[in-house]
Chain A
C-alpha cells in the first residue's frame, strides 16, 4: 500500500468553511451550500471548518455539535450531561433529559436561540492527533483513524490545513481495492 492520502482528501476549497464570528445559522447555511456545490456522486460533507481572520483552521463544527447546541438552553440539561462522569447509565441519562424538556416546545422554538449564537461557542478545537501530513501513506492514515476517535482528519502541508481526509473516502478506496482484487483472482482462475 504505497498510496498517499493526497489524492483522497477533499481540498479545503471544496469544503464548507465559515469565519469564527459567524452564527450557528450561518454555519449550517455554509454547509448546505457546500453540499450543493460538491460532486453529487460523492458522500456529502458532514462538518464545517471554522477559520480565524488569517484563514487558519481554528475549529470544526460537526452535525453532532449542531445538535448539541440545541441542548444548551437548559441549566438542568447541563447538570444531567455532567453526571455522565459519575457512572450513570445512558438509559437513565436519556430519561432525565426527556423529563427535563419543556413539554409542547416545537423544534422551531428550540432552534431559535442557538441559531443566533456565534459558532465559536459550539465548535471543537482540533486536537494534535487530528492532523495528518498530506504525504502520509494510506496505511498509516487508516491506523490513525482506527486508533483515534475521529471520523475525519485535517490534512496539512507545511503546517497549513489544505484538506480533509474523510473516513467515508478511505472506506470507498478500500472497497474499490477489494473489488479489483476479486476481479484479478477471477481472471487468473478463468
Chain B
C-alpha cells in the first residue's frame, strides 16, 4: 500500500498549499480518522455502458473503490471512495454554451477531469458552468467528504465538509462548511461556516440563510478529527446494509414493475410496496420504501423516500430525504434537504407540502405534530413546528412582488424577488426536461428513457504489493 499512502499524503499536501492563505490546514492524521486507507481498498469500481453517452474513461494512479462512472471521465492521482461521477449531462461537441453575453461553441465532448483530489461519498454531476473551461469539468487539489455534492462546479484547491453542496459555481481555494449550500457563480478564497445557504446572481438577487449552529449540530456535527455525527448520519447509517445487498448481488432481479418510459437504476434500493408511474427517473443509490411516485417525478442520487407519496412532476434533488410525507404536484425539494413527518399511528403527524412549493436546498423539517405547508410556498431553514414554519416560509407570490429585498427570521434577501423565483422555476423545468418527465412516447427523451438498458462493468485494484489499492492505468473507449 506504499504508493497509496504516498498518493494520500500528496493530495492532502496539495489541498493544504492551496488553502494556506485562509489559515486553514488539514491534518493528514485527522483525515485518516474519517476514512482509513485499509477500508477504501475493499470495493470494486464500476462504470455504465450505454449508447446514449460517450464512453471514454481514463484512470491513472488512482484508487476508485466503490465509485461509479458514467460518460467521459478522467481520474488522475486521486482517491475516490463510493463516489458517483455522473457525466450524463456533460456538454457535447457541437453544443452552444450560453454564459451571460457570451455564446460559446463547444468543440469537443466535455470531460469530468479529476486530478490530485480525494472525494469521499461525493456526487459529481451536471456540467461545468465555468466559462473559462467549457469543455473541462475540472476538480483539482480538492478534498470533499461524506455526502458532498459537486454539481456543475469546477473546484481548485477546495475542502468540502460533509453534506456540503456547491452548485453551478466555479470555486477556488475555499473551505465549504458542513451542510452548506453555495450557488453563486463564482467563489474565491472564502471560508464558509457550516449551515450557510447562499444563492446569488450578481445581477439580480442575493439569498442568504445560516442555520443556527447549535440546532444544526443535532443533525450534522463535524469536528475535523472525527467522523461526522448527528441525525442525518444516523439516518443514512441505519440503511447502509440495504445498499450492501444491492452492490453485492451481480444479477439483481427487478422487484418493482415499472412503465417502459421510466427508469429505476439497478443500484437503487426498493423496499415494500412502491409504485412508479410513467417517465419517472430513479437514480443509483436512491432508496425507496413504500413510495408512490407520480408521472415524471424524479429521485436523484442518495435520496431516501420512505412511506411517502409524491404527485407528478416532483423533483427530489441529490441527497434529499423525505419520510412520512405527502407532496403535491410540482414540488421541488432541494439538495440534501431532510423532511421528516411521523407515521400516522403516532398522532397523525404527517408532513404535507402543497403543490408548486419550493423547498430550498439544505432545508430541515423534522416534526412531531402534523404540519401542512400551503401551495406555492418558499420554505427554508430548520423547522420543527408551525411557528417555525411561519418564520421560515413565505408565499412565492409575495417574493415575486418584492423588488428591493426583505428579511425574515435569519433569512436575508436582496434584489429582484421575481427574478429569484423565475431562476428556480426555470431550473426545475430544466431538471424535469433533462430527466424525461415530459416524454410523450416519441419526443422529449431524458435520463428516464436514455439511461435504460445500461450495462455495468466492474474494475478492480491491485490486491497486494506496493501498489495494493491502486488501480492500474486503464483507458476504456468504444
Contacts and interface: CB of A to CB of B under 8 A. Distances in A.
Interface string B212-249: 00000000000000000000000000000000000000
A99 interface: yes
Contact of B407 (A85, A86, A87, A96): A96
Contacts of B190: 85
Nearest to A85: B190
B262 to A, nearest CB: 41
Contacts of A83: 208, 412
B109 interface: no
Contacts, number: 28
A87 B405 contact: no
Given A96-B407, A99-B407, A87 B206 contact: yes
Contacts of A96: 407, 412
A92 interface: yes
Interface residues of B, number: 14
B414 interface: yes
B405 A92 contact: yes
A88 interface: yes
B412 A88 contact: yes
B410 A89 contact: no
A101 to B, nearest CB: 14
Given A86-B206, A87-B202, A87-B206, A79 B410 contact: yes
A88 B206 contact: yes
Interface residues of A, number: 12
A160 B280 CA distance: 74
Contacts of A80: 412
- Most central of B198, B200, B206, B407 by chain A CB within 10 Å: B407
A92 B414 contact: yes
A83 B196 CA distance: 11
Nearest to B405: A92
A160 B373 CA distance: 65
Interface string B179-212: 0000010000010000000101010001010100
B407 A89 contact: no
Contacts of A89: 414
Given A86-B206, A88-B412, 11 more contacts: A79-B210, A83-B412, A86-B198, A86-B200, A87-B184, A87-B202, A87-B206, A89-B414, A92-B405, A92-B414, A95-B405
9 contacts: A80-B412, A83-B208, A86-B206, A87-B200, A88-B414, A92-B404, A95-B404, A95-B405, A99-B407
Interface of B: 184, 190, 198, 200, 202, 206, 208, 210, 404-405, 407, 410, 412, 414
Interface of A: 79-80, 83, 85-89, 92, 95-96, 99
Q: Which 3 A-B pairs have the closest CB atoms?
A: A92-B414, A86-B208, A83-B412
